[in-house]
Structure 1
Amino acid sequence: MTALVAAEALLATPPVDRASVTHSVSEACARASAYAMPLIGADIVPVAQGTGRTLSEPVVALVATPPFTQSAMDGYAVVACDGIAVGTRLRVVGRVPAGRRGDEIAPGQATRLFTGAPIPEGADAVVMQEHVERDGDAIVLRRPIRAGDNIRIKGEDVQPLEILLQAGERLDARHIALAAAQGIGTFRVRARPRVAVISTGDELRQAGDTLEPSAIYDSNRPMLLALIEQSGLVPIDGGWVPDRPEMLADRLRYMAERADLVVTSGGASLGEEDHALEALVQADGSGETLKIALKPGKPAVVGRIGSAAYLGLPGNPVSSLVCWLLLGRAMTSTLEGREPPQRLGFPLPSKSAFARRAGRTEFVPVKLVNGHDGLGVEILGRGGSARLQPLAEADGLAEIAAENGGVRPGDVVLFHPLRGGFAI
């Protein structure tokens, strides 16, 4: 089912009391992504500027890689046939640096050549330079050599017309190297989703403001904007709005005309001062509050305003971060025409005990620890949804399964690294 069909089916569903239904993390991600629709536009970008972009069409090989049979080592090209024994003496008849071609050689001869240089006609192996002894115009083998040793065969990596990258692939340096080795100069990529972030709450102050005893500085909006930019998306600062549903509705309408996804932090729960869903409806949008079996980040609001998707995140910073990494990535993947990412993680043993109740999937900050019994993770106390210091000290988040009533030393958890992209 395409994202468009899924969204139409979801929006056509008769209203129900969604707040009474508790969704698993996977179910919540699926519902969130159904409100997002793939962007139609495409851009042509230079290969070197493709990092973080999503391909809109496959990339096909133009040439064989390597384009000719070449040496994998600095050494000497020889005619090995059935093998050459230790102590064999071979006469050196030429020298071939990378970018040059050498003359044909015969049995009993050798050509000095360097990594990447073409193999001379007649040669079928390369002996590494450290495995021979040079004696004037000859070499003496210190090790036996067989046909095929230390040679890269033409086309062994890529054949012409082979599909190198599929549409929907999110590009990074590996893909850029692969395309550049083909002489490909540009990628056709999907338009980058524009993501607007609005922070809400009477208690919030901005950097440079006077901080009254009942106020806090806004950390969510800078954090989310940084995550969005780090993900290769287009961040739009939607500013701050107090806890007034009519003011938030006006801001939502305004940003929905300028963004593909509008994100708010704060006001996503079901309390008297939580106005995200109310403001969404006042802005002529539609959506629902998701009650998720997740800690931190139990409540979230998802929906649409005009042509833009909407995501209302909790106000506590760690809750906001976790919900963005789960729901936000699901929605932006759909906008980019990609399959929502699978939450894989690395299974590692915990070095710590952690008491908890079963029922919700929980993410806790952890550090990697390499002890005498191998690599594991140390849980950084009970971080809490409002504590940023443990998060800043962490190497990643440990995912504790919903059915797990507690963690004992040695129990396996899923480790999700935070460094290098906050991938989860």
Structure 2
Amino acid sequence: MLTYEQYRQRVVDAVPRLSAETVDVTDPSALLGRVIAAPVRTAVPLPGFTNSAMDGYAVRAADIAAAAKNAPVTLPVAGDIPAGDTRSLSLEPGSAWRIMTGAPLPDGADTVVQVELTDAGTEQVQIRAAQPEGTAVRRVGEDVVTGDEVLATGTLLHPRHVPVLASAGVQQVSAIRRPRIAIVSTGDELVPVGATPGHGQVVDSNGPMLAALVQEGGFELADTRRVGDTGEQVRAVLTELAAGVDLIVTTGGVSAGAFEPLKLAFEDSDEQFEFVKVSMQPGKPQGFGMLGSTPVFALPGNPVSSLVSFLIFVAPAARKMAGRSPALPTATARVGETWQSPPGRTQFARVVYDDEGRVVRPIGEQGSHVLGGLAGSQALAIVPGDTTEVAVGETVSVIPLDGLA
């Protein structure tokens, strides 16, 4: 059997990075979580004009060189310059302008004296400390000059990047497309959420769960479908979807039974599909292939197996397609309660933290079909295949389950 690391690397290597498209900087829903595909350069200098870094008085440093606490220099105040003032103003030698943070510095001024070093006068001001030239002055272009690179290729866009783009005069950027992902649940026994299942039927919980994982991961949910158990039905739906999406995720129909629709759909086809066993719990049976240029992930049907498989295999591949890092988002935690792990298989145990968020313990039974405890779990603890008992006090790697698909 393959290890989960081997299989994960195999599927990540098989998927392509998507092409870039132009994105409007003013549309946060389209911008955030995307990866820059080309360097972004400023169209204007930053700051765009010389301005004050604080509330105070704009002066010439030479005029206050002798100022001291016990021997203040008194200057007449020419007026006020608020932030947003668009006037072209000048400072006469031997005078001052009262100025606010971010307001444009008048011509001739080279220093701002903070208001705390003055008597805060409005018609004349007593300045009680000398200040070197350039104090509290933001010079035009001191941050960046026109043409400077403000965001490098590969930058993952977050809210903190938005003011940089807006201030730099950038209206559009080139960003890698988010993969459009379709979800397909297989099985004649499935009924939609809200329906009452009859004898032998179950509610399709995997479809909504996988759809939620797609959206939480920052990808685009393109379609959701349910199909029956025949290979012809499955192949027809997947072929239709492959023409309009970037990635397909199916659930169910990959085990070793006699009626496995994913296997039946591609057993005699020319497509490169592979069904393997991975030494992990849950999620042992896995399938992957290409329908034309569209990757298809065939996940097992048990809900917990499907969730874990998405996080370990699908999400990293989709992140690569979007230009992001495929690395698993892991942290470490100390074990607070002993539990058993199956020999020879990496266990992804559902765990919770203590009140301080540092100690983990298992929650619920760890079988792939067991939903008890799933909603309360906060992370997946990764237990190596050569470990059969996870002991109190040990340290384990964990994959957080909150916002890290």
For this structure pair, what is the TM-score category when the shorter chain's length is used for normalisation?
A: 0.7 to 0.9
CA contact (8 A) 2:118 2:125 kept: no
CA contact (8 A) 1:264 1:312 kept: yes
Check if 1:333 corresponds to 2:311: no
Structure 1 distance, partners of 2:371, 2:40, is: 42
Structure 2 distance, partners of 1:299, 1:57, is: 39
- The verdict on how the C-alpha distance between 1:130 and 1:330 changes in structure 2, with shifts beyond 3 A counting, is same
- The verdict on how the C-alpha distance between 1:85 and 1:186 changes in structure 2, with shifts beyond 3 A counting, is same
Give CA deviations for 1:340-388 in whole Å, capped at 9, x if unaligned: 42224333434444443564444344445454xxx51443524533445
Structure 2 residue identity aligned to 1:214: G
Cα-Cα RMSD: 3.5
Structure 2 distance, partners of 1:231, 1:113, is: 47
Match of 1:179 in 2: 165
Match of 2:4 in 1: 24
Q: CA deviation at 1:265?
A: 0.7
Q: CA deviation at 1:240?
A: 1.3
- The verdict on how the C-alpha distance between 1:122 and 1:238 changes in structure 2, with shifts beyond 3 A counting, is closer
Structure 2 distance, partners of 1:51, 1:229, is: 13
- The verdict on how the C-alpha distance between 1:246 and 1:282 changes in structure 2, with shifts beyond 3 A counting, is farther
Check if 1:291 corresponds to 2:269: no
Match of 1:198 in 2: 184
Structure 2 residue identity aligned to 1:341: P
Check if 1:104 corresponds to 2:85: no
Q: CA deviation at 1:302?
A: 1.0
Match of 1:212 in 2: 198
Check if 1:61 corresponds to 2:46: no
* TM-score normalised per structure 1: 0.78
- The verdict on how the C-alpha distance between 1:214 and 1:174 changes in structure 2, with shifts beyond 3 A counting, is same
Structure 1 residue identity aligned to 2:125: A
Secondary structure of 1:43's counterpart equals strand
**Number of residue equivalences:** 393
Structure 2 gap ranges (5+): none
Structure 1 distance, partners of 2:373, 2:380, is: 10
Deviates more, 1:216-225 or 1:72-81: 72-81
Match of 2:101 in 1: 115
Give CA deviations for 1:130-155 in whole Å, capped at 9, x if unaligned: 665535633565x9966666554544
Match of 2:174 in 1: 188
Match of 1:233 in 2: 219
Q: Percent identity?
A: 32
Structure 1 residue identity aligned to 2:4: S
Secondary structure of 1:393's counterpart equals coil
Match of 1:37 in 2: 16
Match of 2:363 in 1: 381
Structure 1 gap ranges (5+): 1-20
Map 1:23-422 to 2 at 5 A: 23-25=3-5, 27-40=6-19, 42-49=20-27, 50-77=31-58, 89-90=72-73, 91=75, 93=77, 94-100=79-85, 103-104=90-91, 111-120=97-106, 121-127=108-114, 129=115, 133-134=119-120, 137-139=124-126, 150-282=136-268, 284-336=270-322, 338=323, 340-357=325-342, 359-371=344-356, 375-382=357-364, 384=366, 385-388=368-371, 390-402=373-385, 405-419=388-402, 421-422=403-404
- The verdict on how the C-alpha distance between 1:314 and 1:146 changes in structure 2, with shifts beyond 3 A counting, is farther
Q: CA deviation at 1:211?
A: 1.3
Give CA deviations for 1:199-252 in whole Å, capped at 9, x if unaligned: 012332212322124322111111222222344433233421223223222222
CA contact (8 A) 1:329 1:340 kept: no
Secondary structure of 1:117's counterpart equals coil
Structure 2 distance, partners of 1:79, 1:387, is: 75
Q: CA deviation at 1:195?
A: 1.5
